[in-house]
Amino acid sequence: MPDGLGLPTFLLAFASALLGAKLLGELSERLGQPAVLGELLAGVLLGPSVLGLVPLTGGVLLLAEIGVILLLFEVGLETDLGELARVGGPALAVALAGMALPFLGGFFLTRALGHPALTAIFVGAALTATSIGITARVLAELKALATREGQIILGAAVADDVLGLVVLAVVSRIAGPGEVDTALVLSATGLAVGFLVVALALGIPLGRWLVGIVGRANVRGILGAASVAFALLVALAAKKAGSAEIVGAFATGLVLARTNRRHDITQAVKPVVDVFAPLFFVAVGAQVDVALVNPFVAGNRPSLLLALGLTLVGFLGKFAAGFCAWGKVRRAFIGAGMVPRGEVGLIFASLGKATGMLPEGVFVAVVLAVFATTFLAPPLMKLLHLGAADGVSLP
Amino acid sequence: MPDGLGLPTFLLAFASALLGAKLLGELSERLGQPAVLGELLAGVLLGPSVLGLVPLTGGVLLLAEIGVILLLFEVGLETDLGELARVGGPALAVALAGMALPFLGGFFLTRALGHPALTAIFVGAALTATSIGITARVLAELKALATREGQIILGAAVADDVLGLVVLAVVSRIAGPGEVDTALVLSATGLAVGFLVVALALGIPLGRWLVGIVGRANVRGILGAASVAFALLVALAAKKAGSAEIVGAFATGLVLARTNRRHDITQAVKPVVDVFAPLFFVAVGAQVDVALVNPFVAGNRPSLLLALGLTLVGFLGKFAAGFCAWGKVRRAFIGAGMVPRGEVGLIFASLGKATGMLPEGVFVAVVLAVFATTFLAPPLMKLLHLGAADGVSLP
């Protein structure tokens, strides 16, 4: 097929993104950090501001978009709404406080520095969502998934993920007309929550029906292909309903998680995510211009200071939220488990950049703050968990 | 990320391609035909000439290209060069005759109808390669993989696949400068064979080294991602060496098939192929303009007649090649097993169309002939195999 698509450039970008992401991901894991951190750093290195191997062309951005849609689909598949009900009240309290505190902190800090309200909303929103992927992986590494703290963290992260996507839907709705207005916020909230409710209400029987049909088919790969097609269509519907594509993909995951083929679908989707999701993280990293991070350039200092402030606010807000849990639990460990931001924060950042709501300096500050919280959490969780295991008394 | 990529259009195209391909693929299998036939027909229906749900935009063609690169990578992974050595002489004789006869038939038929030599070369070349995927699937369904006939068919199809890709490399090299010249043909052959030899010679130790490195890594999905990256880089190298991307992807498959992680790599790549390869077949089908197939339009008759002629030539050439096998074997069954063309023929056709070597009418004729041989083979194989099982004497 034609080379007019820039196929050679694309092949090189795709291959180097995959290799760079996995190489730095592995290095990152060996240093006790989540792999996603390495993937982001690989993007910074491969992107236009350093090596230039991954240019931000249409093809790269399109595949990155497919990557993040499939990733959120998989996160949805691995999310169990039932979990939340089981861990009950404390998880919801932690989730709500963990969204409100960093949002308010980020919002007021950004406003205090003289940025417009819309920018401040994006910054606050980018700090709301805990990365369920990172948190779950750290909990699994610590063998703390089945503890009461682990259950609360997971439950809160699940609630957070759903609520964070609602916030994302609201924020992307607001980003369109470009002004804040209570009626609009309410209608956007209604649309986003309404879309999720309708998608889940219609989706659960529809998903079961679809899985039933597919179960009677024999052709190779039909379960994976049909599930992905379903996710893409719901993503498109979400977009048409004024929400975000990834909200639709996530909802599809939640819906298909409630069918009896959940395991098979996850098995079919995982390898596809493995190949395409790194492209998203690399593409996000590639959007960071390293020239803006140099602290010796006076012009960079405002965004570096903002990054420091956002990291502090983002960290303290989530950490404090852990103390909203009740019962006989280690609240500091729960707070630490809520700290990593990861993918959803970056989705906010790149959406904010794409819609022009986040100026370059603020975008960099948000990405750096996401990096920093993601970086801080795993060692902190490990420390607090080991401390407890050694019998040290913790709050 | 931006909508400037035509993301909504792309999501709809991708989703409908997947659903259409799997639906008609399933239907096709239920009618005793290979699934790929249904995927092609889905493309015809979804393409611009009928429903228009799958437009041939840059994004669709880019993902289709990734799909076919990954497909050939998987075919390479499932191809064992050792097989050929074991079935030995008869397989090679069948392979060579099975390439020469249809090539000559297609070439002279096209020339006789007044088309230029380059067009005739493309047509002949498109008829050379047996579809190993289809043949292997039919043999498996007939439980004839382990018979001597099955071994010879598979061996010949393997040789055919490698030789067909060499022919493809030669032909795409010729398509560049746009003229036929013996020195050029020889150098193109040298380059293509040389590329394969070098890729295999360097690739086997390199692949083992790579797999060794990757084996010491723990990060999720690294085996699949690194293998795909390797395939993309070798595909790019093949292109740079004047060969075709898919030759490189196929060579990577052959190379990684000789490592101890062959099974794991295949498992990691298969689900990705399941999701992206259908897009290639749908995109090929979408290039057929149904208006040109209507026999009541006088202007279509030349290409329909050509399609009929090419089907005959393509069928008889491969069927006759079966009789080049020696030993106590059912030669007609071997011949029937060589008949289906499938993907490689379509790759030739779309390459010919993209480079302008195949005018619309001839392109349609070649695609129809590929359809027809693919359609004819499975029932014929089933018939000849059943006949033998019932004790009917066959040549």
ipTM: 0.77
pLDDT at B390 over 50: no
- Min CA distance, B353 vs chain A (Å)? 9
Element (H, E) at B362: helix B360-389
Mean pLDDT, rounded, of chain B: 81
The whole-number pLDDT of residue A392 equals 43
Instruction: Kindly state the average pLDDT of the residues B31-44.
Output: 82
- Burial code (b: 16+ CB inside 10 Å, e: under 16) for A33-51 equals bbbbbbbbbbbbbbbebbe
Q: In chain B, what are the helix, strand and coil shares in percent, each to the nearest 5?
A: 80, 0, 20
Distances from the Cα of A43 to the Cα of A14, A40, A254, A361, B1, angstroms: 11, 5, 30, 18, 16
Question: For B274-320, what is each residue's pLDDT tens digit?
Answer: 888 888 889 878 877 787 777 788 878 888 889 999 999 999 999 99
Q: Which residues of A touch B224 (CB under 8 A)?
A: 271, 274-275
Across the interface, whether the CB atoms of B236 and A11 are under 8 A apart is answered yes
Determine what percent of chain B is predicted with pLDDT higher than 90.
Answer: 19
- The CA-based angle A329-A330-A336, given to 5 degrees, is 130
- The CA-based angle B239-B240-B243, given to 5 degrees, is 40
pLDDT band, very low/low/confident/very high, at A14 (cuts 50, 70, 90): very high
Decide: A122 and A357 in contact? Cβ < 8 Å. Answer: yes
The whole-number pLDDT of residue B101 equals 95
Instruction: Kindly state the average pLDDT of the residues B217-238.
Output: 87
A114: left (phi over 0), alpha (psi -120 to 50) or beta: left
pLDDT at A391 over 60: no
Instruction: Kindly state the average pLDDT of the residues B229-239.
Output: 89
Mean pLDDT, rounded, of chain A: 81
Q: In chain A, what are the helix, strand and coil shares in percent, each to the nearest 5?
A: 80, 0, 20
pLDDT at A394 over 60: no
Across the interface, whether the CB atoms of B233 and A272 are under 8 A apart is answered no
B232/B389: higher pLDDT: B232
Would you call B391 an interface residue with chain A, using a CB distance cutoff of 8 Å? no
Closest CB from A7, A229, A274 relative to B225: A274
Return the SS3 of B55.
coil
Q: B-contacting residues of A 136-165, CB under 8 Å?
A: none
pLDDT at A395 over 50: no
A21/B179: higher pLDDT: A21
Would you call B269 an interface residue with chain A, using a CB distance cutoff of 8 Å? yes
Determine what percent of chain A is predicted with pLDDT higher than 70.
Answer: 85
Decide: B341 and B372 in contact? Cβ < 8 Å. Answer: no
pLDDT at A269 over 80: yes
Question: For A49-98, what is each residue's pLDDT tens digit?
Answer: 889 899 888 888 888 888 888 987 887 787 766 665 677 689 889 989 99
- The total number of residues shown for chain B amounts to 395
Question: For A306-333, what is each residue's pLDDT tens digit?
Answer: 999 999 999 999 999 999 888 888 899 9
Would you call B270 an interface residue with chain A, using a CB distance cutoff of 8 Å? yes
A75/B201: higher pLDDT: B201
Q: Work out the angle between the directed axes of helices A7-30 and B58-77 (0-180°, nearest 10).
A: 60
- Min CA distance, B61 vs chain A (Å)? 7
The pair of three-digit structure tokens given for residue A4, joined into one six-digit string: 């007019």
Q: Which residues of B touch A354 (CB under 8 A)?
A: 1-2
pLDDT band, very low/low/confident/very high, at A38 (cuts 50, 70, 90): confident
pLDDT at A152 over 70: yes
The whole-number pLDDT of residue A2 equals 39
Torsion angle of C-alpha atoms A163, A165, A171, A172, degrees rounded to 10: -160
A37/B5: higher pLDDT: A37
Write the DSSP string, A31-64: TTS-HHHHHHHHHHHHSTTTT-SS---HHHHHHH
Q: B-contacting residues of A 286-345, CB under 8 Å?
A: none
Question: For B50-105, what is each residue's pLDDT tens digit?
Answer: 898 998 888 888 888 898 889 878 877 877 666 656 776 898 899 899 999 999 99
Q: Work out the angle between the directed axes of helices A301-321 and A331-338 (0-180°, nearest 10).
A: 140
pLDDT band, very low/low/confident/very high, at A388 (cuts 50, 70, 90): low
**Chain A residue with minimum CA distance to B274:** A221
Instruction: Kindly state the average pLDDT of the residues A332-342.
Output: 88
Element (H, E) at A203: helix A182-215
A271-285, B248-262, B282-296: least confident range: B282-296
Closest C-alpha to B349, from B307, B380, B395: B307
The whole-number pLDDT of residue B316 equals 94
Write the DSSP string, A144-194: -TTSHHHHHHHHHHHHHHHHHHHHHHHHHHHHTTT---HHHHHHHHHHHHH
- The CA-based angle A344-A348-A350, given to 5 degrees, is 110
pLDDT at A219 over 80: no
User: What is the C-alpha end-to-end distance of chain A, expressed in Å?
Assistant: 63
Across the interface, whether the CB atoms of B11 and A61 are under 8 A apart is answered no
Question: For B6-24, what is each residue's pLDDT tens digit?
Answer: 888 889 999 999 999 999 9
The whole-number pLDDT of residue A178 equals 52
Q: Which residues of B touch A236 (CB under 8 A)?
A: 8, 11-12, 15
The whole-number pLDDT of residue A158 equals 66
pLDDT at A3 over 60: no
Would you call A260 an interface residue with chain B, using a CB distance cutoff of 8 Å? no
Across the interface, whether the CB atoms of A274 and B4 are under 8 A apart is answered no
The whole-number pLDDT of residue B111 equals 92
pLDDT band, very low/low/confident/very high, at A17 (cuts 50, 70, 90): very high
- Min CA distance, A271 vs chain B (Å)? 6
What values do phi and psi take at B153, rounded to 5? -60, -45
The CB density around residue B322, as the number of other CB atoms within 10 Å, is: 27
R_g of chain A, CA atoms, integer Å: 20
Decide: B278 and B21 in contact? Cβ < 8 Å. Answer: yes
CA distance B28 to B14: 21
The pair of three-digit structure tokens given for residue B314, joined into one six-digit string: 């393509």
pLDDT band, very low/low/confident/very high, at A220 (cuts 50, 70, 90): confident
Q: Which residues of A touch B138 (CB under 8 A)?
A: none
Question: For B317-360, what is each residue's pLDDT tens digit?
Answer: 999 999 988 888 889 999 999 998 866 787 788 888 888 888 88
Closest CB from A15, A221, A245 relative to B232: A15
The CB density around residue A10, as the number of other CB atoms within 10 Å, is: 22
Question: For A200-213, what is each residue's pLDDT tens digit?
Answer: 788 888 888 888 88
